[in-house]
Amino acid sequence: MAFPVRDEDTTTDGEQSAAELQGGGLQSVDRAIAVLRILARAGSAGVTEVAEEMGVHKSTISRLLRALEAQGMAQNSGRGKYQLGLGILHLANAIPMRLDLTREARPVLEALAAKFGETVNLAVMSSDHVVNIDEAFGPSTLAATQNWMGRLTPIHATSSGKVFLAALSSAERNRILEDLGMPAVTQQTITSRQELEEQLLTVTKHGYSTVRGELEDGLNGIAVPIRGHEGTVIGAVSIAGPSFRFDPEKVPGLIEELQASGRKISENMGYAPREAHH
């Protein structure tokens, strides 16, 4: 079955790259996914075979395969044939953990949303950012000005992000913050490294983090960590609400309930905290 992809490639490598980065990026993504599907179905295929099936120029497919190979998504199996690369396996291996996390967390998210009436999110780290992978809405939830589900959000400006940062080694935290910087998302965003580090010490001490209008004006949030079976932080559960009515540190019982929920999800994921010895 041929893929309905138009061949608009009549430029040089450099011109094509520029176009893809600007107006044609989605078409390039579609083509790359189509190539991967062909390799998955066929086991291995050459440039000519893929180009004929997709109905595009061979030079386009050659560039796509080289780009996929550079990222570990495809590999040259010899004699001009390509097959799926180990990078695909690495991506696939991350899926079960996230699916399990979502499944184990879902009833807890719903219970928190019902009890406190606000939006509850489940987040993980991805590409040194924070991504919400599930959410539950309470009866008082207001429509947010932005939908953050599935989007990369700055790690220094979210309550979940601060949970992740506090759990990292200082070297890894330095790498991320030096690579990404600490740009202001709102006027309330913490952009001082010293101030952030002081907050992270508090996160470690008290076991939760907060934000007040740092990602979105008028939106407050609080998050606690979720640990995997090895004790590492694999996710975060947060509650967010409008600042005119939601101050997470003033809602009776909220911090304790949220922390208990984080522990429950952690236990469901196989985490067994060491008992204190007296």
User: At residue 111, does pLDDT exceed 80?
Assistant: yes
Q: What is the pLDDT of residues 133-174, one digit of tens each?
A: 999 998 876 655 566 687 889 999 999 999 999 999 999 999
**Average confidence (pLDDT) over 193-208:** 97
Q: What is the pLDDT of residues 80-108, one digit of tens each?
A: 899 988 888 777 766 666 668 999 999 99
User: At residue 11, does pLDDT exceed 60?
Assistant: no
Would you place residue 13 in the very low, low, confident or very high pLDDT band (cuts 50, 70, 90)? very low
Q: Long-range contacts: 177-184, Cβ < 8 Å, 24+?
A: 179/128, 180/128, 180/129, 180/154, 180/155, 180/156, 182/154, 182/156, 183/154
Q: Is the pTM of this model over 0.85?
A: no
- What domains are there in the chain, each with its CATH number? 13-84 (1.10.10.10), 94-268 (3.30.450.40)
CB neighbours of residue 222 within 10 Å:
27
The H or E element spanning position 266 is helix 254-268
The predicted structure's pLDDT at residue 55:
93
Using only C-alpha atoms, what is the Rg of the chain? 23
Which of 43-47, 61-65, 93-97, 133-137 is least confident?
93-97
Would you place residue 254 in the very low, low, confident or very high pLDDT band (cuts 50, 70, 90)? very high
CB neighbours of residue 175 within 10 Å:
13
